[in-house]
Structure 1
Amino acid sequence: MASLDPVWSLVQSSQFRIKLLKLSSVLGVSNDRRLRDALQKDDADIARLFKLVVGSDVHKKAVLRLKGGSAQNCVDLIQDILDKGSLQGGDAGFTLKARRLLVKLSAASDTLPSSLFIEGVSGLDKEATFGGTFGDIYRASYQGQDVALKRIRVFQRDSGRHKIRQRFCREALLWQRLQYPFVLPFTGIDAESFPSFLCMVSPWMRHGTILKHLAENGNANVDRRLFEIAQGLAYLHSQDVIHGDLRGSNILVDDEWHAHLADFGLAVFSDATAATHTSHHGGSVRWMGPELHYPQSCGLEEFQVTNFSSPLTIWVVHRHWPSELSPAMYTVSALFASSFTPARPHSAISLMMRR
Structure 2
Amino acid sequence: MPVPRPESHPHTPPDTVVLNDVAHAAADDAGGIDPALLGDFLDAVWGAVVEGRRLSTARTARYRSVGEEAATSGVALRALLDLYLSAAWRLWRHLPPVAAAHADPDGVVTAGEVVLRATDDAVASLTEGYQLARRQLVRREESDRREFVDDLLAGTADVSGLLRRAPRFGLELTGPHAVAVVRAQTPFRDGSPQLAVVERRLQGSVADADPLVATKDGALVVVFAAPDRAAVDEVVLRLRDVLGPPDRTAWRAGVGRPAAGAAGVVGSFEQARRALELGRRLGTGDPVADAADLLVHEVLLRDPGVARDLVESTLAPLRQVRGGVEPVLATLEAYLDSGGNATETARRLHLSVRAVTYRLARVRDLTGIDATRSEHRFGLQAAVLAARALGWPGERG
Q: TM-score w.r.t. structure 1 length? A: 0.30
Q: Which is richer in helix?
A: 2
Larger radius of gyration: 2
